[in-house]
Amino acid sequence: MRPWWMRIVAGLLLLAFVGLMWMTNAWLTERFSETTKVRAELRLALYTGNILSELQRTAVVPLLLARDPGLMGALNGSDFSTTSARLMAAQKEIGAASIRLIDASGWTVAATERRLIGTNYVREPFFVEAMRGRDTVFTVNTNEIGANEFVYSRAVVQNGRALGVIVVEAELQRLERSWAGISDAVVVLDSSGKIILTTEPRWRGHTLQEALALRTAPTAIQRAFQVTTDLTARQPDAWIQGRAVMQSEARVPFRGWRMVSFTTYESVREKVNAALAMEIMGFAILLALSFYILSRRARVQSVAFKRESDELRALNRRLSREIAERERMQKELRVAEQTVEQSSKLAALGEMSASVSHELNQPLAAMKTYLAGARLLLQRDRYEEALSSFQRVDDLIERMGAITRQLKSYARKGGEAFEPVDLRAALSGALTMMEPQLKSRTVRIIRMVPREPVMVMADRIRLEQVIINLLRNAFDATKDQKDPEIELTVRAGSHAMLTVRDNGPGLTDMEKLFEPFWTTKKPGEGTGLGLAISSGIVSDFGGRLTAHNTEGKGAVFEMQLPLYAPVLTDQQPDGRPRADLAAE
């Protein structure tokens, strides 16, 4: 009778435990759900405050920039060489996403994002509405990648005439990215009910009902598992990706916007499950005591332990085989890596041979010119001038040796040859190197350099090679022009910048411009390696080489390098203003 009585007691204890678990789960779920909802509402209040603060802070920027005399002068004089830098400085101070200056015809003439320069916005609402009125206009438009831009625009007016439009984008995407770091799904809807900000990119542009319909409907098994897990949990407000969520909503006091968040019950379940685990633990202890009394299960447990031991031994044998197989694959991988490394070395040797052929053509051509001049000077008994030509030939031979030594280092990575170099001095050296070619025909050279040194960390010879390549391209591009002109500009701002501008026909195929062996010159006049090698050298220096066509006629190559030393102040030690550029 005793085992039968103990079974009844165990059954009653089990029923009591199930009832206790049910009531505990219902009460704790309700309590923690209310706490989670309050926290979600507080979080929404914080988010709406952040949005409103960002919009209010950005709203005053167009009003200030529209009255900037520098921007008015740039629009009047069509000189935008420093306008983008001015906008970048303003962006850094106010923390806006981007700033654009658009002229009266709708063309972007300056921007903090240089890729936008030259874009036409004549049909965009933020341009049209700003030109029609004289107040700051707020619009939401979609950019080329499908994201929303929240922009304030205002016309730049002088003497009652609209010169252009200043456009400032609010940094709301930063807030959107910060929301993605939490477990909630957050959306912001405009007055028409369309989603304009969201942590779920595929919801953007839909209504809330359409966005929720994009989910994959949960299967019957998933719903049954969810119900079993939640036990007596409250009815969910919505389903997102098969998970039950609670919905919270707050009003954004701006143009009828609303913010909605969807919070999962996972945090609630974690807290409830922690309390239930304590109850389960207590019941398990009681159950263990019962099992201790009911020693009949000892034999079953012994059999289970023996079976698990057999499985562990089998698993150990499988792991030993997998370890041996992994070691064999690692050996094969090392052999493959050595093969790839040898192939890379052979490819590098091929590039070096092409580079040597290209880079030595310049000093060889200069030597030929100097030797011809020295021969004429010797025939005219002008020995001192001939010796000067021979000295230049000797310098070129030394330069050729330095070039070959430098090309030997292309096969390995290293920066031991880098040193502080004055970009102005490198430009002067390149012009000296190009002197014979420049004297072969009349070309107007305009050189604008600052009076202070512009120091960069680079290899002097390789830097001059890049400048010579750019000069030769500009020289060749202007050979068919009536009044050939090459403009060389050195600037120092956040980076050192060298600009080579010509008035030639311009660039045709921008995508293939920096590809090896691609050239528009006739056979025998070029190898197509100059720009490819130059781009690689500038990248080794930590900079970049870009090119584009001017609005008028000609091409512009820009070499941007990191500064070695901080930019000098705008005043001399005696307090007088310092001139930025000296035109030559």
Cβ neighbours for 458, distance < 8 A, ≥ 6 positions apart: 418, 419, 421, 426, 541, 561
- CA distances in angstroms from 550 to 79, 547, 553, listed in the order given: 13, 10, 6
Q: Is 497 helix (H, G, I), strand (E, B) or coil?
A: strand
CA R_g for the chain: 37
Q: Report the C-alpha gap between 460 and 398 in whole angstroms.
A: 14
- Bridge partners of residue 120, in order along the sequence: 107
Q: What is the mean pLDDT of the chain?
A: 78
Q: Looking at residue 578, what is its pLDDT?
A: 44
Q: Which residues of the chain have pLDDT under 70?
A: 1-6, 10, 181, 183, 215-244, 265-269, 291-292, 294-298, 300-301, 333-334, 336-359, 402-417, 436, 515-529, 565-584
Residues 450, 498 contacting (CB under 8 angstroms): no
Q: Looking at residue 565, what is its pLDDT?
A: 65
Q: Looking at residue 424, what is its pLDDT?
A: 92
Q: Report the C-alpha gap between 299 and 287 in whole angstroms.
A: 18
Q: Looking at residue 100, what is its pLDDT?
A: 92
Q: Is 584 helix (H, G, I), strand (E, B) or coil?
A: coil
Q: Report the C-alpha gap between 102 and 120 in whole angstroms.
A: 8
State the maximum Cα–Cα separation within the chain, in Å, rounded to a whole number: 138
Closest CA to 393 of 410, 377, 415: 377
Closest CA to 472 of 502, 513, 448: 502
Closest CA to 58 of 133, 163, 139: 139
Q: Looking at residue 217, what is its pLDDT?
A: 44
Q: Which amino acid is at 13?
A: L
pTM: 0.41
Q: Looking at residue 13, what is its pLDDT?
A: 72
Q: Looking at residue 262, what is its pLDDT?
A: 83
